[in-house]
Amino acid sequence: MAKGTSFAEKAAKAAGKRGHTCPECGQPLQTVKLVYSERSPIKDSWKFNQRFVSVCKCNEKEVYG
C-alpha cells in the first residue's frame, strides 16, 4: 500500500462505491424517501406520492424545510 493514499482519497472511493457524491459540496448524497400528500380535485380525496431524492448540504434545507 502506497503511503500517498490520503484519508480523503479513501473516503472518496468509499463514497464512490455507494454511488453518489455531490459535485457542488463534495459530500456523499443521502437518498431520502419523501412522501407528499396531494389532494385529488376529481375524487375529492387525498393521495400520497412517494419520491426518492438525493440530499446533501446544498439542498437539505429545501428538502427538510
Q: Which residues bind Zn ion (CB under 5 A)?
A: 22, 24-25, 56, 58
Work out how close the CB of 62 gets to Zn ion at its nearest, in angstroms, rounded to a whole number: 11
Query: Could you give phi then psi for residue 8, rounded to 5 degrees?
Result: -60, -40
- Distance between CA atoms of residues 5 and 19, nearest Å: 21
Work out how close the CB of 7 gets to Zn ion at its nearest, in angstroms, rounded to a whole number: 20
Judged by beta carbon, residue 12 or residue 58, the one nearer Zn ion is: 58
**Residue in the block written with cell 479513501:** 10
Reduced to 3 states, what is the DSSP secondary structure of residue 40? strand
Work out how close the CB of 15 gets to Zn ion at its nearest, in angstroms, rounded to a whole number: 12
